[in-house]
Amino acid sequence: MTTTICYCFGVSKEEIEKRIADGESIDQIRGSTGMGWGCGGCNTLTEPLWGEKATEESRERILDLLARQA
Ligand code: FES
């Protein structure tokens, strides 16, 4: 099962995590997928998860929210 983060461009949490583990930044992923450049709604998830100002607390809050929606 995958968790969709960006509905406009079909980008999943699992794809983002793999690409970050492979060394890409969230901005590089945005650039290559378009993520965040459609409605922009996914930025409310990507910023607290992987953005420059993300914290352990913000990651836990969003991951808990996503788990509840699964
Ligand atoms: S959900 Fe990502 S740009 Fe719309």
Each residue's pLDDT, cut to its tens digit, for the chain (70 residues) gives: 899 999 999 999 999 999 999 999 999 999 999 999 999 999 999 999 999 999 999 999 999 999 998 7
Q: How far from chain centre, in Å, is Cα 3?
A: 10
| pLDDT value at residue 69 | 82
Euclidean distance between CA atoms 65 and 18, whole angstroms: 20
How confident is the model at residue 25, as a pLDDT? 95
Task: Let me know if domain 4-69 sits in CATH 2.40.50.180.
Answer: no
Q: What is the per-residue pLDDT for 37?
A: 97
By most ligand atoms within 8 Å of CB, the mutation choice from 3, 8, 33 for ligand 1 is 8
Which phi and psi angles does 6 have, rounded to 5°?
Answer: -115, 105
Nearest atom of ligand 1 to the alpha carbon of 37 = 3
pLDDT at 1: 80
